[in-house]
Amino acid sequence: MADETTTTTEPTADAAPAEHTAAPVDPNAIQHALEVLAEEPEPKTGEQLPAGDPKSDEVFEPLGNVSNCP
């Protein structure tokens, strides 16, 4: 026969429910983040992407109005 040993634990006092609150936030955190972003170099905007071939570019063709759906 299988061993049907059970263990019991003494009941403990229920712990108070934990309040889910946000961690304290540094009031200057947003200002600091903006300063860090300002120090990063800007991406190069002088380079232009090569223009695509207008004959082979995809053209949007509407399939119809939504009111035409059954």
| Number of H-type helices and E-type strands within the chain | 1, 0
Tell me the average confidence (pLDDT) per consecutive run of 10 residues in the chain, 70 residues long: 65 66 72 86 65 62 65
| Contact assessment for residue 26 and residue 32, using Cβ atoms and an 8 Å cutoff | yes
pTM confidence score = 0.27
Residue carrying the six token digits 């019991």: 8
d(CA 57, CA 50): 13
The sign of the CA dihedral 47, 53, 57, 61 is: positive
Return the pLDDT at 28. 83
Q: Which residues have a Cβ under 8 Å from the Cβ of 26 and sit 6 or more positions away?
A: 32
Confidence at residue 40, expressed as pLDDT on a 0 to 100 scale: 80
